[in-house]
Amino acid sequence: MKLPDVGAWVLVKITAIYNPSHFWVQLPSGVENLTSQLIKHRSGKETSGEGNLKDFNNLMKEMCEFYSKTFRRERSLVPPSEGELVVIRSEVDNKWYRGQVCQEEKDKKYK
């Protein structure tokens, strides 16, 4: 398997995370540099990463619709544990995002 050049920027798909220093990725566009992909995109040639972006945007839209429904707004009586996967609403853009609880703050907000 060929790996990207050191310092190259490539498109990756994160498939699993053990911790911030230990994770697994796939290279959906191979080892092709992002600059080359951008040039192809601007010239009208499709890259394999474009379909993934469309899928990701559709997933985000569906997730926002699902979690915005009234019955989903109720909070759990049990706070999430450290390491637990969660869905949170951003205070910045009011959209829903996937996340993982890293630590609990004193005021009971989670990062």
The pLDDT tens digits of the residues spanning 35-59 come to 777 777 777 655 555 666 777 777 7
What is the rounded distance in angstroms from the CA atom of residue 89 to the CA atom of residue 65? 12
Q: Record the pTM.
A: 0.41
- The one-letter amino acid code at 17 reads I
Whether 109 shows a pLDDT value over 80: the answer reads: no
Cα-to-chain-centroid distance, residue 64: 14
Q: Provide the pLDDT confidence category of residue 77 given band limits of 50, 70 and 90.
A: low
- The DSSP line for 20-54 is TTEEEEE-TTTT--HHHHHHHHHTT---HHHHHHH
Rounded to a whole number of angstroms, the distance between the first and last alpha carbons of the chain is 37
- At 40, list the tokens: 């192809």
What is the rounded distance in angstroms from the CA atom of residue 15 to the CA atom of residue 65? 24
- At 35, list the tokens: 């600059």
